[in-house]
Amino acid sequence: MAQATQKFGEWPLKRLMTEVCGSGIKSAEDLTREQAQEAIRRIFAGEPDHTTLGAFWLANRWKHNNAEELAAYTDVMCEHVEYAEPNVDPVDCGANYDGKLRSAVLGVAAGLVAAGAGTPVVAHSGDRVPTQKGAAYKHVLDELGVRTEIEPAESADMVDETGFGFYYQPAFNPIVDSMNERRDQMGVRTFFNTIETIANPANASVHLGSFYHLAFAKKMIGTFEQSEHHDLDRIIMFQGMEGYDDIRPGYTKVAEWTDGEFTDYEIETANYGMDFETEDLGVDRDDVEGESAAITREVLAGERTDRFADAIALNAAFRIYAGGDADELDEGLEMARAAIDDGSAAAVLDDLQAF
């Protein structure tokens, strides 16, 4: 331990638990940026035993990380990420890596439609990430016959050649992927579930994400602002289904941050064609990825014009709007529907399958 302390600094996780963050929900203190960075460096080096690491993760969960801590954790993670920038500047879509269990994954279809409308999109995920181990971007793309287990440079080429790119976590962020077994043993989410979604492997200037409560969106925007690695121009977040970047039907909050200016507002999705309930987007829990892929094919082929088509169009509109290719959400929605109707979105899927 003395050697480890000399190598890393003065704050092993056990000391942080004793003196800073482990005293209880009401009395725990936040870590400084330096303490947080040292902590995650120790974690990545495999220094803490399982009990100490589990206690540290739980303490962070109970006290709720602030933006400074998350930014510190993120920046150290980004030191290990293999970045591959495409020539285009895509919209980065970072949904919860542990996926969905009840409703269709719409982000693949929405990204393909946005790409068909001229807005390049990047998505990234792992493979059955704890704690839910649900269906994520990778699994829907696999069902569609798209290669997913590729190196970051190939992912960048995929974006440039097709307008849509997928980055595979074990390839671009192996150090976080290597923690999955220990995360699985926890049984609850940790701050790794948050920071992995903002790795931004294409170094995009725009991020699109989701939240349950507006306070979380503000915290994530603060995390990007305090990050020494990330330098974004725009962030769009909305209330999503199952924590995913699929907008929740009904009365929904949206948060925007553009060049340092923050605003939030509400929309009624029925005004944009989504006039139904969250439950109406449910699929077979035993085959979320398979049904999501079938829905994607049918909507892009123009064979399906139901609630799923409406939801995909609005989610695509948000990506088009986030990317700056539409000045208003209504305009993005028109572009999304046109990309479906004229076959441009289906052509993107064809290109991906041939890549």
Angstrom CA distances, 246 to 15, 78, 100, 178, 238, stand at 40, 26, 10, 27, 9
Tell me what the mean pLDDT of segment 218-245 comes to: 96
Residues 51 and 96 in one domain: no
Residues 121 and 45 in one domain: no
The whole-angstrom separation of Cα 313 and Cα 185 is 38
Residues 292 and 175 in one domain: yes
CATH number of the domain enclosing 338? 3.40.1030.10
- Within the chain, residue ranges assigned H as helices are 2-8, 13-16, 33-44, 50-63, 67-78, 107-116, 137-143, 152-162, 169-172, 174-177, 180-186, 191-195, 214-226, 288-300, 307-322, 329-341, 344-354
Residues 24 and 117 in one domain: no
Is pLDDT above 90 for 7? no
Angstrom CA distances, 245 to 8, 96, 238, stand at 37, 8, 8
**Which residues, other chains included, contact 320 with Cβ-Cβ below 8 Å and sequence gap of 6+?**
114, 117, 118, 119, 326, 332, 335, 336
**Which residues, other chains included, contact 21 with Cβ-Cβ below 8 Å and sequence gap of 6+?**
28, 29, 30, 31, 56, 59, 60, 63
User: Where a domain ends, among 64, 82, 107?
Assistant: 64
Residues 59 and 107 in one domain: no
Residues 36 and 108 in one domain: no
Q: Is residue 260 a part of any domain in this protein?
A: yes
- Report the Cα–Cα distance between both ends of the chain, in Å, rounded: 49
Q: Is residue 191 a part of any domain in this protein?
A: yes
Name the one residue in this structure whose structure tokens are 């000045």.
Answer: 327
* Cβ atoms of 93 and 122 closer than 8 Å: yes
Q: How confident is the model at residue 2 (pLDDT cuts 50, 70, 90)?
A: very low
Name the one residue in this structure whose structure tokens are 């704050």.
Answer: 11
Q: Is residue 130 a part of any domain in this protein?
A: yes
Provide the percentage of residues in the chain whose pLDDT is more than 70. Answer: 98
- Quote the distance between the C-alpha of residue 268 and its chain's center: 23
User: What is the 8-class DSSP label of residue 18?
Assistant: I
Domain coverage including residue 24: 2-64
**For the chain, how many structural domains are there in total?**
2
Structure confidence at residue 1 (pLDDT): 36
Q: Is 140 buried (19+), middle (13-18) or exposed (0-12) by CB count in 10 A?
A: buried
Q: Is residue 85 a part of any domain in this protein?
A: no
Tell me what the mean pLDDT of segment 114-123 comes to: 98
Residues 196 and 239 in one domain: yes
Q: Residue 287: how many CB atoms within 10 A of its CB?
A: 13
Q: Is residue 78 a part of any domain in this protein?
A: no
Q: Is residue 73 a part of any domain in this protein?
A: no
Q: What pLDDT digit, counting tens, does each position of 160-207 carry?
A: 999 999 999 999 999 999 999 999 999 999 999 999 999 999 999 999
User: Where a domain ends, among 45, 64, 83?
Assistant: 64
Tell me what the mean pLDDT of segment 103-118 comes to: 98
Residues 195 and 265 in one domain: yes
- Half-sphere exposure (Cβ direction) of 121: Cα atoms closer than 13 Å: 35
Residues 22 and 167 in one domain: no
Amino acid, single-letter form, for residue 283? V
Tell me what the mean pLDDT of segment 320-343 comes to: 98
Nearest to 99 by CA among 76, 123, 81, 125: 125
Is pLDDT above 80 for 282? yes
Residues 54 and 141 in one domain: no
- Quote the distance between the C-alpha of residue 145 and its chain's center: 22
Q: What pLDDT digit, counting tens, does each position of 89-99 carry?
A: 999 998 999 99
The whole-angstrom separation of Cα 206 and Cα 204 is 6
Structure confidence at residue 50 (pLDDT): 95
Q: How confident is the model at residue 228 (pLDDT cuts 50, 70, 90)?
A: very high
Structure confidence at residue 3 (pLDDT): 43
Is pLDDT above 70 for 6? no
**Which residues, other chains included, contact 227 with Cβ-Cβ below 8 Å and sequence gap of 6+?**
71, 74, 75, 78
Residues 344 and 259 in one domain: yes
Q: Is residue 300 a part of any domain in this protein?
A: yes
Residues 25 and 141 in one domain: no
The whole-angstrom separation of Cα 282 and Cα 263 is 31
Q: What does the block give as tokens for 103?
A: 């409703």
